[in-house]
Amino acid sequence: MKTRTAPYTHWISVSIPPFLFEAVLYAPIDDTNSTAKIGNGIIFFTLYKKEVAMWDSLTLANVNKEKLQYLRENAVLKAHEKAKEETEAKKVTKQEHKKYALEATMKLEEAERKRIEDLKEKERQKVTKELELWENQQKDAEKQKEVQKEGELHHEVEQLKEKKKEKIGQTRIPNEGTSKARFKPTKGHGSYSMFSENLKEEQLPAPRSAATIKINFTARVFPTALRESRIAEEEEWLRKQAEARRTISADLSELEDLKEEEKNPDWLKDKGNKMFATGNYLAAANAYNLAVRLNNKLPLLYLNRAACHLKLRNLHKVIEDSSKALELLTPPVPDNENARVKAYVRRGTAFCQLELYAEGLQDYEAALKIDPKNETIEKDAEKIRHLIQGTMQDY
């Protein structure tokens, strides 16, 4: 069923195959408010006049074909224009709704992020206070120990003084015929005698005789003297070297069991690309891992593996592989521009997902320097700038 009218039209048409109803009205009607309802084999029209007036008849009589054709074409043209205007209006309304929903979502995310940051700040302050309290307690405990040690030391000094007095009293020998006392030098801690200097000179040992000492050195792995080396660190280094050699030997034995095509890094890269396209990101990452073991100088292997880790949320591995790809994509030439843009974008995305927005923005800006006309990267960089500004305003 088709109903055709146009704003302020004279002509109405209703098509219900195989029937067609047409009418040329006496005067124009308001198509916006006018309606046509069909049901149970009946068409019910509700028509509103464009201008309030009495019509001599409902339809025009004796309408020639040319005028009827003109009215049809004019009505269809106006109907198309109206439909186009309604479509554009709906499109604008939809865009406004999407924009409002996006702004509302961003506000909610911003509020949630701020709430989380406030909780983190409270936890930091709480931990800081607890740490300060613990440090003060430790300082008080140390002060108490020092006071206690000083008291014990003072007590020991007093005891030594008492013992010294007792020993001096015991060594006093009366002299016959005189009232003066003579003191006998005694050994012991804290005792003193006027003859001590003479005794020291007499008790000095004789000078040692000159001689030659022969020293034999055992063989060492590192050509350094024992006093300049660190045995524990050297042994750890040797252990790691031996373990690395064993791992390489094991890897080579594993690679010998592979098929001939599986030993080709390019074949493994294509295999990983196919698995990535089907959404099997873990299997794709394993294919790239084996390809890297066979040839670790192909930057596209690291770049593709970074994409897999990004899907698997292994963000630190994304940063490592992207950095390795950028290291291998040197010197920068026009042929590797696309690969370098991907590496910067993937590493920047991983930084942003780790909430390291400043580092992420640096990578996005580096990608824009290579491809300044990329609108998608420019929009994402602008979003990151807004996030950084919002974070700085919160602080």
Task: Kindly list the structural domains of the chain, giving each domain's residue range(s) and its CATH number in brackets, ordered by start.
Answer: 2-96 (2.60.40), 297-394 (1.25.40.10)
Residue 188 has what pLDDT? Answer: 46
Residue 219 has what pLDDT? Answer: 63
CB 362 within 8 A of CB 347: no
Residue 177 has what pLDDT? Answer: 45
Q: What is the pLDDT of residues 274-284, one digit of tens each?
A: 999 999 999 99
Distant-in-sequence, close-in-space partners of 63: CB < 8 Å, separation ≥ 6 = 24, 71
- What are all long-range contacts of 316-325, with beta carbons under 8 Å and residues at least 24 apart? 316/350, 316/354, 318/346, 318/347, 318/349, 318/350, 319/347, 319/350, 319/351, 322/346, 322/347, 322/350, 323/347, 324/299, 325/299, 325/300
H-type alpha helices, 171-264: 196-203, 231-256
H-type alpha helices, 42-64: none
- In order, the DSSP letters of 132-161 are HHHHHHHHHHHHHHHHHHHHHHHHHHHHHH
Q: Which residues pair with 42 in a beta bridge?
A: 39
Distant-in-sequence, close-in-space partners of 35: CB < 8 Å, separation ≥ 6 = 45, 46
CB 110 within 8 A of CB 390: yes
Nearest to residue 299, comparing CAs of 335, 275, 323?
A: 323
**Which residues in the chain show pLDDT less than 50?**
1-2, 5-8, 173-201, 394-395
